Amino acid sequence: MRIRRLVAAAVASLAAATSLVACSSASSDFAAGTAEDPIIIGTTDAELPEWGVLKELAAQEGIEIEMKSFTDYATPNQSLAEGSTDTNKFQHLKFLAEYNVGNGTNLVPVASTQVYPMPLFWKGHDSIDGIEGQDIAIPNDATNQGRAINLLAANGLLKLKEEGKLTPDPADIDESASKVTITPVDASQTPSAFGEGKPAIITNSFFKRAGINPADAVLYDDPENPNADPEILFDPYVNVWAVQEKDKDNEKVKKLAELYLSDEVKAAVQDTTGGTTIFVDKPQAELQEILDRLEEEASSS
């Protein structure tokens, strides 16, 4: 067990008279990155080969890391806020913004990693030609539903009553002016819809589990699409390394982020995702600006 975690726990158990000291110790210094005090990274996909590659590269730079795997999407941020992990990499900026607003935390991005494009699959087809009149299955959770609707709108398949909404819902669709209809379903059911021959937008997690080849997608959210507003369809979904606000300038995390964008790690990621990942290297200040905007929107919704 890590020495700094033991110290924090011991101090936290002292009497109320030493509560100030306890709080200070709970916010202990960032991990040293040594074998005795490795940097603990929270993620939901610790089994992926990319992490093994990163661990080797980090060791060559004198930085020891340890992966902490989570099976849900709420606990990694809770763990980071409590100091049980040093950083995490599993989420995009929109998710981080909504978590901060909903939980009163102030987790911040250190660096960007990638965007996992949202794909539309249609069994037996290699393009969207002839898709007019089809009913498309989309995930029904707020984040992915809004992203799916904006994807279809940016490609001329749906018409929205009002442009520029980050998280539109079915009520925002002008059905009479649209070329397709949609049926929101639980994200886990979208592969079944695809298997039945229905066009379906399937998120990264579920097409992997269903054994669907990402190269078979007939449509992706493309940041180069002139009809797509990057502030709506791209920027919110940039994945990031997140830390507590006090650690935003930590050089060790910045080095890990740099190594993550190395050719070796990129190759491992693309091998896992079928070459569909879009790597992103945005300045930290720009990431923070995007997060601030998304938090403001989340607070007002």
Q: What is the domain-level CATH number for residue 212?
A: 3.40.190.10
In a domain, 277, yes or no: yes
Quick: pLDDT tens for 250-261: 999 999 999 999
Residues 149 and 196 in one domain: yes
Q: How far apart are CA 118 and CA 286, in angstroms?
A: 23
Strands 181-185 and 135-139: parallel
Residues 142 and 195 in one domain: yes
Residues 137 and 157 in one domain: yes
pLDDT of residue 20: 34
State which residues form the domain around 10.
Answer: 1-30
Q: How far apart are CA 175 and CA 165, in angstroms?
A: 17
Q: What is the residue whose two structure tokens read 């097409």?
A: 207
Residues 224 and 266 in one domain: no
Number of structural domains (the chain) is 3
Cβ pair 220, 147 in contact under 8 A: no
Residues 133 and 226 in one domain: yes
Residues 107 and 202 in one domain: no
Q: Which two tokens stand for residue 220?
A: 């992706």
In a domain, 206, yes or no: yes
Residues 106 and 126 in one domain: no
pLDDT of residue 211: 85
Residues of the chain falling short of pLDDT 50: 1-27
Q: How far apart are CA 123 and CA 106, in angstroms?
A: 43
Question: At 50, is the secondary structure helix, strand, or coil?
Answer: helix
Cβ pair 116, 214 in contact under 8 A: no
Write phi, then psi, for 173 (nearest 5 degrees): -90, 135
Quick: pLDDT tens for 9-30: 443 443 333 333 333 333 457 8
Q: Which two tokens stand for residue 6?
A: 């033991």
Q: Across all residues in the chain, what is the average pLDDT?
A: 89
Quick: pLDDT tens for 190-225: 999 999 999 999 988 788 778 888 889 999 988 778
Q: How far apart are CA 10 and CA 241, in angstroms?
A: 29
pLDDT of residue 71: 85
Residues 221 and 252 in one domain: no
